[in-house]
Amino acid sequence: MATESIYRDKTVVEGLVKRIRESPIKRPVRIMHVCGTHENVISRFGLRDLLPDNVDVIAGPGCPVCVCPGHDIELAVKLALEEKAVIATFGDMVRVPSSAGSLADARTQGADIRVVYGPFDAIKIAKENTGKEVVLFAVGFETTACGVASLAQSNPPDNLSILVSHRLIPPSMEFLLGVGDICINGFLIPGHVTTVMGLAQYKLFPEAYRMPTVAAGFEPVDVLMGVLAIIRQINEGIARCENVYKRAVHDEGNPKAQMAIKEVFDVVPAYWRGIGKIPRSGLKLKERYTELDAQCRFGVWHPPQAEAGEKPIAHRPSPIAYLNDINPGCSCHLIMIGKIKPTECPLFGNTCVPEAPYGPCMVSMDGTCRVWYKYKKV
């Protein structure tokens, strides 16, 4: 039997569901995942419908495109239209709205917007366009950040710079634990991020918050194994960091990738769209890589995460700018923290659809609204 079929095997799935349903816990259990791929698997295979009524798996801020602040997109649009830079970014970012429009809108005004499938594609574009400035608009979590770090270390062409909008998963998880009206009883953590970063960065949750935390893969059996592991920990009254994705995740992660990130980036406070400023949740290029920093190269915006005592910079946006990056009537900010489900937003499937997204969660293939629209056929 092929590996994929094992992890989608009906008999195995039914056995796991039976064990979850046999749990003596009858009180509500809310498990949060922070991964768009997990949401795709859960929705595509109807896993929520298989769980007992008291167990719910809710989606957290697991879509990097969705949480990218509107101001970062405005900067990319500005560089494309005013500086005539070639903007290279991942496909989902092209259509995400901002107060300055989207990169797709900028393209209709003559901007040169290129879709890349990996950071090193930007090097090829830069070498083919030596007379132009090329900016890699780097958006993503730790898995993408390690690729961008490798690019920065590779002596890239002089006409290539990077507009960094990377975010880190664990600080957002800790932030959500401080939101009083969101009940979370366990975390299902993404296998791909954990493949890079390992389990150590998640040990805070069981040790400080008594929160069961389980790394799971991306097939139905993987997800159900993760849910079962969390249920088992709750049953036993324990909390630990557990790995049920052992075929891909090693406890120590990928030390080489971790070293690259540490070498290239500083960890800083960062804004998350619709959520606000989260301490130590973003990355910026270290001073030794200033020549690669598009913000510094073009003088459009020195990194906004100023430390105490740093002089104010004219182009730095105010915090208010970040709080206004959700369109009126849009509920993405509530959906991204698991407070409501997409179907509870009055715009979902009506004025907000994939062909004409009103909010960021309907744009990306990893956005919760986009996933629910695709599989619930509203």
Could you list the pLDDT tens digit for every one of the 378 residues in the chain?
A: 555 689 999 999 999 999 999 999 889 999 999 999 999 999 999 999 999 999 999 999 999 999 999 999 999 999 999 999 999 999 899 999 998 999 999 999 999 999 999 999 999 999 999 999 999 999 999 999 999 999 999 999 999 999 999 999 999 999 999 987 889 999 999 999 999 999 999 999 999 999 999 999 999 999 999 999 999 999 999 999 999 999 999 999 999 999 999 999 999 999 999 999 999 999 999 999 999 999 999 998 644 444 444 443 334 444 444 555 888 999 999 999 999 999 999 999 999 999 999 999 999 999 999 999 999 854
- Residues 6 or more apart whose Cβ sits within 8 Å of residue 226: 188, 214, 215, 216, 244
Q: What is the per-residue pLDDT for 257?
A: 97
Query: Rounded to two decimals, what is the model's pTM?
Result: 0.91
CA angle in degrees (0–180, nearest 5) for 46-47-50: 100
Q: Report which secondary-structure segment, H or E, holds 3.
A: helix 3-6
Q: 3-64+170-243, superfamily in CATH?
A: HypD, alpha/beta domain 1 (3.40.50.11750)
pLDDT at position 4 is 63
Q: Quick one: 69-166+254-323 is in which CATH superfamily?
A: HypD, alpha/beta domain 2 (3.40.50.11740)
Residues of the chain with CATH 3.40.50.11740: 69-166+254-323
pLDDT at 179: 86
Euclidean distance between CA atoms 62 and 141, whole angstroms? 9
Note the pLDDT of residue 34: 97
Task: Enter the DSSP assignment of 246.
Answer: T
Ranges of CATH 3.40.50.11750 domains, the chain:
3-64+170-243
* Buried residues in 156-173 as b, exposed as e (16+ CB within 10 A): bbebbbbbbbbbbbbbbb
User: In 3D, which of 271, 276, 277, 274 has the Cα closest to residue 358?
Assistant: 274
